[in-house]
Chain A
């Protein structure tokens, strides 16, 4: 199949779909085509290069397909192969998902007898890491769009296609998992045409598990995706695609060369801040690092240059030479913005410095994770952190707890509210605890999103109810085959927390979900405080819509009543707005906790029991006379129905 040109593909999309996550329009096709014949014999001929990303909905098999491409081309020795080879982080392997995009260079001897250099980028599927996908796409000319042929088009399939089209990519559709009995290629191909609007007649049928269709995929990459364009004898123009910290080499910078040549010993300049560096090392990933002499136009590889911190590099920046460089930079990307905020506090206050250390280290490699110190009357010192979404939050929290062995209290996740003060100033509120006195506030605005949900018809009613319950306004409802595609305008604060979990549970896992931030809108929002034993617990404060406050407050105090263990005295638990109590529960006093008998002078048993209780208590935090377990802060917010 020779696919449609980018332009016509784009035209097939309905207008409402054509606003993917809004990143600056940077089109590789605007680069000047290769005119110079003077290609050095050492360099890869531009025509023999293919750069592409592998994109798909979560779990549709991107990383497994990457495995097969790596294996089929003999890039990695058979004995070093393992499933999802590129998912190297512990947390990726454990959860079976990709979090970080990965680049690999493979050599492929095609059926035409020529050897091609293929640079593939495996991307994550989860919506929280969509930013990884978007910036990866800026570095390549084409995409393999993987669709699980037993599942069909899902929400992130759509989101990724729109991004690919935005980036003017040529797209090769891949129907994966054809080994599964439930695989239905005809139906899914039809769906791709109907819903996405791209030609799928020549879609390649693949089983990334058995290796079927891999050869065809490699041929399609060579013949259907365009070669990059670029000028060798031109000043250096390279795009900084990604960077991360390596304990041996320092900061490693992933670059895509557009024009010119990058060599070891070059003095380069980052155009965003004019900082200059001496290039110490140049290489490519196979997927192990391999040092080479230079990178030419169209190539993707890495450089190191004694850069100390990831923060000194800006993703999307343009790199040129210090002298005789270019003057006009690439448009760059919008940096990833954290959208969910919460406080992280050590359960053991003595571990604050350890936490600082852990967060510093993690932030080194994750520019999308933001943090600043926070003090809470009840929780002491901690950090207010910003994340791309809830999975991102979980990933970071997990890593701190496991890799650094610090038990954490996570406070209620919040979004950024705009507070319009009576005096006309506007404040950003990341933390409900910082809510100013209402008498000075004119009104509040909250961020909203456009959510796209694909769901089988039988669960549609439940999904609509869920969206309605979360203050959603329906924008669109269409059908994609037997599945409904619902588009809703929703307040982000109703979604960040447990929306995805709820969605999964009401649809038994059959729905998929994607969202984009849209704008801010005014609404009647108030701060709801929680008082435990008559003392406010700031870490449990949340912003809620006034109309929902009673129900929310009731649910929270009931939850807390179950989550807080009984104490020797009874404990009132209240939800309040300002000074007004809107919900109240009483946790009755503990009635029985005693060892009835004595074992002929054996005191060790009793001690063991006490030691066990003591350990349990370590996982709690004291507020006045009340101990609240660490998990209560998050669990209290979950709404089960």
Chain B
């Protein structure tokens, strides 16, 4: 069972918790801070990398992901130091991936060259919308023009560039989204993350929604149509929806995110970062202190993690199922059974197949495109047994 993670690979996630301003829909662990002592943060990341290197030595690294927050606010030398340290400890596969999440502002663009020199080979850029009215409503600080300029620079600097859009926004019609997406697809990049706007508790949007003041959100049926249209347009452009919200040309999938979805091993470093690691005696979940200041001081006194819990086999099987069903490649029921100790219910499989939610492809259980929009309900059915 200690081999299970190998199907997914091994990666490292680094969390940078700061942003220039807080977007009203965002519930990521991101904060606005005026003074950031970047060299102190750099030392902390290095210390944690060293600590983990002792915990899980002798691994071959698939990918590194610098996420946030807004990692494109990091000084290139900090990124350089982090990547160098990681590569010092772990050898990599040949086509390893090092992604940095970037906000598409003009300032960020000036740092791209430095990131490339530090070893970043992939950029995930948060464009979010392709019209200024909606960017404004989403509380974004960049304009469409700025965004596209930054995108051009990124494309000239990095081999691989992905971009993020949020749709099913307030007052967005199906036709508007179709035309916006067509424009996006015309930029001919090979990877998109297309997220439907989610209203999260504890965000500004969440609060406005609760008070009934966030109007014009699409009904579920409308959102469903938008999702279908998205799948079709991307397919026509040669991009496959390989995960619920991610589209890529064959071979251009995010290798790092695939580790999560294939339930591999990953180290999480930074405030609130999560990890899944197979150690000599079992599989563990780790979690960093969420508050950035707290994390920093905890690291300085030896360990930035708040928890390191062993996962039961049952728990692992559930996580595997939850993550794996997000992928178009589906899950291997044999692997599920190995983890949970019992097979997936035949009755549930039969029922879900009958109502067109899942299908069998070469022995793998895959969710249909209709099923993806109600994935939580499908997972629920499986876990209910």
Q: For residues 239 through 291 of chain B, which have their beta carbon under 8 Å from a beta carbon of chain A?
A: 244-245, 257, 260-261, 266, 268, 272-276, 285, 287
Is B138 an interface residue when CB atoms closer than 8 A count as contact? no
Of A150-158, A270-278, A586-594, the one contacting chain B is A586-594
| Given A569-B355, A593-B374: A600 touches B195 (CB 8 Å cut-off) | no
Is B153 an interface residue when CB atoms closer than 8 A count as contact? no
Say whether A596 contacts B244, CB under 8 Å.
yes
Say whether A600 contacts B323, CB under 8 Å.
no
Is B189 an interface residue when CB atoms closer than 8 A count as contact? no
| Given A568-B357, A607-B322, A614-B380: A594 touches B375 (CB 8 Å cut-off) | yes
Of B106-114, B220-228, B292-300, B337-345, the one contacting chain A is B220-228
Identify the closest chain A residue to B243 (Cβ): A598
| Distance in angstroms between the alpha carbons of A597 and B168 in the assembled complex | 14
Say whether A601 contacts B276, CB under 8 Å.
yes
Identify the closest chain A residue to B307 (Cβ): A604
Is B136 an interface residue when CB atoms closer than 8 A count as contact? no
Q: Could you tell me the distance in whole angstroms from the C-beta of B235 to the nearest C-beta in chain A?
A: 19
- Chain B residues in 8 Å Cβ range of A594: 244, 372-376
Is A248 an interface residue when CB atoms closer than 8 A count as contact? no
Say whether B198 contacts A610, CB under 8 Å.
no
In the complex, number of A-B residue pairs with CB atoms less than 8 Å apart: 100
Say whether B275 contacts A597, CB under 8 Å.
no
Is A617 an interface residue when CB atoms closer than 8 A count as contact? yes
| Given A591-B223, A614-B383, A625-B351: A568 touches B268 (CB 8 Å cut-off) | no
Say whether B380 contacts A591, CB under 8 Å.
no
Is A34 an interface residue when CB atoms closer than 8 A count as contact? no
Q: How would you classify the secondary structure of chain A's contact residues: helix, strand, loop or mixed? A: loop
Q: Could you tell me the distance in whole angstroms from the C-beta of A121 to the nearest C-beta in chain B?
A: 51
| Distance in angstroms between the alpha carbons of A603 and B198 in the assembled complex | 17
- Chain A residues in 8 Å Cβ range of B275: 601
| Distance in angstroms between the alpha carbons of A601 and B355 in the assembled complex | 31
- Chain A residues in 8 Å Cβ range of B65: 600
Say whether B196 contacts A601, CB under 8 Å.
no
Q: Mark B203-244, 1 if CB is under 8 A from A, else 0.
A: 000000000000000001101100000000000000000001
Say whether A591 contacts B378, CB under 8 Å.
no
Q: For residues 557 through 595 of chain A, which have their beta carbon under 8 Å from a beta carbon of chain B?
A: 567-569, 588, 590-595
Say whether B384 contacts A614, CB under 8 Å.
yes
Is B67 an interface residue when CB atoms closer than 8 A count as contact? yes
- Chain A residues in 8 Å Cβ range of B77: none
Say whether A598 contacts B257, CB under 8 Å.
yes
| Distance in angstroms between the alpha carbons of A609 and B373 in the assembled complex | 16
Q: Mark B346-385, 1 if CB is under 8 A from A, else 0.
A: 0000011001010000000000000111111111110110
| Given A592-B220, A596-B244, A601-B274: A568 touches B322 (CB 8 Å cut-off) | no
Say whether B13 contacts A601, CB under 8 Å.
yes
Say whether A610 contacts B379, CB under 8 Å.
yes
Sorting the interface of chain A by its residue count into under 10, 10 to 19, 20 to 34 or 35 or more gives 20 to 34
- Chain A residues in 8 Å Cβ range of B245: 596-597
Q: Which of B224, B266, B322, B373 contacts A606 (CB 8 A)?
A: B322
Q: Which of B260, B266, B287, B372 contacts A598 (CB 8 A)?
A: B260
Say whether A603 contacts B322, CB under 8 Å.
yes
- Chain B residues in 8 Å Cβ range of A588: 221
- Chain A residues in 8 Å Cβ range of B319: 603, 607
Is B15 an interface residue when CB atoms closer than 8 A count as contact? yes
Say whether A610 contacts B13, CB under 8 Å.
no
Say whether A591 contacts B373, CB under 8 Å.
yes
Is A599 an interface residue when CB atoms closer than 8 A count as contact? yes
Identify the closest chain A residue to B270 (Cβ): A600
Identify the closest chain A residue to B272 (Cβ): A602
Q: Which of B260, B273, B377 contacts A593 (CB 8 A)?
A: B377
Say whether A591 contacts B322, CB under 8 Å.
no
Is A30 an interface residue when CB atoms closer than 8 A count as contact? no
Say whether B374 contacts A592, CB under 8 Å.
yes
Is A36 an interface residue when CB atoms closer than 8 A count as contact? no
Is A613 an interface residue when CB atoms closer than 8 A count as contact? yes
Say whether B223 contacts A601, CB under 8 Å.
no
Is B318 an interface residue when CB atoms closer than 8 A count as contact? yes
- Chain A residues in 8 Å Cβ range of B257: 598
Identify the closest chain B residue to A595 (Cβ): B376
Q: Could you tell me the distance in whole angstroms from the C-beta of A592 to the nearest C-beta in chain B?
A: 4
| Distance in angstroms between the alpha carbons of A588 and B219 in the assembled complex | 13
Q: Which of A604, A610, A625 contacts B380 (CB 8 A)?
A: A610
Identify the closest chain B residue to A566 (Cβ): B220
- Chain A residues in 8 Å Cβ range of B373: 591-594
| Distance in angstroms between the alpha carbons of A603 and B65 in the assembled complex | 17
| Distance in angstroms between the alpha carbons of A593 and B227 in the assembled complex | 12
Q: Could you tell me the distance in whole angstroms from the C-beta of B260 to the nearest C-beta in chain A?
A: 5
Q: Could you tell me the distance in whole angstroms from the C-beta of A139 to the nearest C-beta in chain B?
A: 56
- Chain B residues in 8 Å Cβ range of A592: 196, 220, 223-224, 373-374
| Distance in angstroms between the alpha carbons of A592 and B261 in the assembled complex | 21
| Distance in angstroms between the alpha carbons of A597 and B246 in the assembled complex | 9
* Residues of A participating in the B interface, judged by any CB pair closer than 8 Å: 567-569, 588, 590-604, 606-607, 609-610, 613-614, 617, 625
**5 residue pairs bridging A and B, Cβ less than 8 Å apart:** A594-B244, A598-B261, A601-B13, A602-B274, A607-B318
* Residues of B participating in the A interface, judged by any CB pair closer than 8 Å: 13, 15, 28, 65, 67, 193, 195-196, 198, 220-221, 223-224, 244-245, 257, 260-261, 266, 268, 272-276, 285, 287, 318-319, 322-323, 326, 351-352, 355, 357, 371-381, 383-384
| Given A592-B220, A594-B375, A609-B376, 4 other A-B residues pairs in contact with their CB atoms under 8 A | A569-B355, A598-B257, A601-B268, A601-B275
Closest 4 CB pairs of A and B: A591-B220, A591-B224, A592-B220, A602-B274
